Structures are given as structure tokens and as C-alpha cells.
Amino acid sequence: MDKLIQEHRKRFGEFEVVDFVDETEIERLRRDIDVDVPMQLHWTWNYGSEVEELRRLYEKGKVNQWNAETDLDWDIPVSKDEFILNPDASILAQVTKLMGKDEATQKAAAFDEINYLLSQLLHGEQAALQLCGQLTNVCDKMDEKWYAASQVIDEARHIEAFSKFMQRKLGTIYPIGPTLKILLEMLLEAETAQKKTLGMQTLFEGMAVGIMDLIRRECLNPLMKTMIHRVEQDEARHAAFGVLMMRRVVRDAEPEQMEEMEDWAFNILETLNANQQLDMLRVFGPKYGIDPEVTVKLITAMPNFAEFNSLAYMHTVAPNLKNLGLLTERTRDQWLKLGMMTPGKNALLEQALTSGESVN
């Protein structure tokens, strides 16, 4: 299987990482803001409902709308002098502590890290907004177009919430990481509705739910906790849209098409995993005297690396892929080897993988 972004790969012991070190190239990637997207537009003259489950999800989306300006208490302060996340959940807080830095430095480093992570989520939200706009064009059925359209307003609200939170409370929006930009553009440039749905709705929405769930559980600030919780509830609905759409795709797919989709899904997630926060560590390394390469080598060599690394993958995206038949014995060993799955940590998922039964 050819790996994505091969030219930026290198080995850290047993682990292969994707690492961008050339600042000029990163700048060039970010400046590239006009993207050619080949896309087919489909009309439909059937205005009745054809896919009942999608219509139900659309109705659910309407009922669960919320207002980022009025449903969040923006008067709640966010202080740089307090940990916003449990420090155990912050790489920079842990590393600066191990280096013997004082608590103020640990707090500042943890603050920078969550600010960077939220910035990446924000850029991902913009990609989701744009991709759902594309789906209103490329999808065949009116129920699909309606649901995609309802997701467009959800994603606009997520951009509104995250960007206001960073502008009003954190003070900085960091630029997009190079690995994330390349992967998101692969989805936006994909020609078929199937690949767009698999890539954005199943993989990225599934990852978003997993990451946001981790952040929410470790969050110590009530404003941020409520914001993430609200967004996460919308993302769970979006991931469900991905599964409902993909279920119909895989039902009609030939074995070779299934294999191709499984490989593509694995490749995207493997590349995301292979970055191992190197983009973030390169931004803050000099500020805190941290060597990004040494840090990642230490993290990936830790005996419990897979246990915490796999949490975001095993939350939603792995079970959904398994249910769709897009995570099989063929790729399972790679998931385990790369710490994207932990045997025994999700007994239900493991059982399903070995017995071939559905997780649900």
C-alpha cells in the first residue's frame, strides 16, 4: 500500500512519522488558497422523501439547532493562569514538568497546546462547511441534499463558536498544520460523492467526535466544556449521516471497491496518526526549549503509547468503519501496530473483528 505524503516521511525507531521541517514549503502550502475542485452537479425532480432514515436525521438536526452567540455564557472567564485542560492530557504540560519547569511555564505551555488544537479543529470545521456545500451539489437524492444543507449551517455555527472563543478568550488563531491541509484538500478534491462522504463524514467527523469527547472530559473551564459538548452533539449527528450514506454505498459495492475504500480510509487515518503532533511541537518547541523529534520518539516508544493514542480512533471512527465492512482482518494488524487500536481496550470492537459480527 503506497503511503500518503511519502516525501515527508522518516523513521523514528519502529514508528514512521510525517514531518514538515521546511518553513518555506509550509508557507507555500498555506498561501495556496484557491483549489480546483472537479465536481458533478446533480438535479433531482423527486421532491418526496426516498430515504426515510435520512429524513429523520434531518428532522433531528432541525430540532437540535442552537445559537453560538446566545446559548453559550460568554461572560465566563478563561485565564492563562489556570489549567484549561487537565494537565495529564497535555503533552506540553507533561514535557515541561519533566524538564523541571515551574508551574506557570507548564500552564502557559498547556494553554498554547489547546489553543493550537482548537485552531486545527477550526480549520477542519471550515473544510467540513465547504465539503457539505459540495454534497448539496453532488448527491443524487433530495433527502441527501437536505441533510447536507442542514449540516452546512451546523458547520458555520461551529466555525462561529470556535473562532469567537479564540478571538475573545484565547487571543490567537494558529495557522493550519501542513499535514492537515493536505489531507483535507484530498477530500475536497475527491471526485465522487462516495469518497467525499467516506473521507469527511465517516473519517474526519468520526475523529472529531473522538477528539472532542477527550477534550470535553478533561476540560476544566465551564465555557469551553459547554461549547465542546454542544459541537460534539452536532458532530455525532454528522458521523451518523456518514454511516447512513456509506451503508447504501457498501451495499452495492464489489469486493475490489470495498478493498479500495478500506485502503483509502486506512491511508488517510494512518497519515493523520503518523504526524504525532510534530506540526504542533515544531511551533512551540523553540519557545519551551523542547526538541520535537526527541519528544515524539519518547512518546511513541512508551509502553502505554497505544493505550492513550488509540482513544480518539476507537471512540467512533473504528467502530463505524468496522460496521461498514471497511476495517477487516486485512488492515486490522496495521491498526494495532500503529497504536490506532488497542486489543482488550474495546472488547466489543475486538470481539466483532475476530468473530466478524456487527458491533451494534
Question: Of the candidates 112, 113, 125, 143, which one interacts with Fe ion according to CB under 5 A?
Answer: 125
Q: How far apart are CA 351 and CA 179, in angstroms?
A: 33
Question: Which among 95, 98, 97, 117 is positioned nearest to 290, based on CA atoms?
Answer: 95
- Say how far apart CA 207 and CA 139 lie, in whole Å: 23
Q: Which is nearer to Fe ion, 112 or 144 (CB)?
A: 144
Q: Please report whether residue 169 would count as binding Fe ion according to CB under 5 A.
A: no
Total site size for Fe ion, rule CB under 5 A? 7
Amino acid identity, position 173? I
* Cβ proximity to Fe ion, 182 vs 236, nearer residue: 236
Cβ proximity to Fe ion: between 235 and 279 the closer is: 235
Closest CA to 78 of 169, 173, 171: 169
- Residues 196 and 158: their CA atoms lie apart, in Å, by 20
CB of 238 to Fe ion, least distance (A): 4
Q: Is 238 in the site for Fe ion (CB under 5 A)?
A: yes
CB of 11 to Fe ion, least distance (A): 34
SS3 (DSSP) at 304: coil
The interface region with Fe ion, picked from 148-156, 166-174, 176-184, 320-328 by CB under 5 A, is: 148-156
Least distance CB 190 / Fe ion (angstroms) = 17
Which of residues 210 and 285 has its CB atom nearest to Fe ion in the complex? 210
Look at residues 306, 228, 315 and name the one whose alpha carbon lies nearest to residue 14.
Answer: 306
Closer of 120 and 300 to Fe ion (Cβ): 120
Which DSSP string corresponds to 127-180? HHHHHHHHHHHH-SSHHHHHHHHHHHHHHHHHHHHHHHHIIIII---PPPPHHH
CB of 205 to Fe ion, least distance (A): 5
User: For residues 69 and 357, which CB has a smaller minimum distance to Fe ion in the complex?
Assistant: 69
**Which C-beta is closer to Fe ion: that of 137 or that of 328?**
137
- Minimum separation from the CB atom of position 201 to Fe ion (A): 8
Distance CA 99, CA 86 (A): 18
Please tell me whether residue 128 binds Fe ion under the rule CB under 5 A: yes
Closer of 316 and 323 to Fe ion (Cβ): 316
Tell me the C-alpha distance between 339 and 333, whole Å: 10
Query: Phi/psi at 15 (nearest 5 deg)?
Result: -105, 135
Per-residue x/- track, 301-330, Fe ion (CB under 5 A): ------------------------------
Q: Is 230 in the site for Fe ion (CB under 5 A)?
A: no
Residues 6+ apart with CB under 8 A from 189: 35, 36, 37, 38
Place of cell 482482518: 329
CA-CA distance, 314 to 303, in Å (whole number)? 18
Closer residue to Fe ion in complex, CB, 143/205: 205
Q: Shortest Cβ distance from residue 2 to Fe ion (Å)? A: 29
CB nearer Fe ion, residue 78 or residue 156: 156
CB of 155 to Fe ion, least distance (A): 5
For position 8 contacting Fe ion by CB under 5 A, the verdict is: no
- Residue 160: CB minimum distance to Fe ion, A: 11
The CA distance from 121 to 126, in Å, is: 9
CA atoms within 13 A on the CB side of 252: 5
Shortest Cβ 237–Fe ion spacing (Å): 8
Stretch that binds Fe ion, among 37-45, 49-57, 156-164, 307-315 (CB under 5 A): 156-164
Closest CA to 130 of 181, 56, 164: 181
Piece of 2-10, 38-46, 105-113, 204-212 that binds Fe ion (CB under 5 A): 204-212
CB-based contacts of 327, cutoff 8 Å, min separation 6: 262, 265, 266, 318, 321, 335, 353
Give contact residues for Fe ion (rule: CB under 5 A): 125, 128, 155, 158, 205, 235, 238
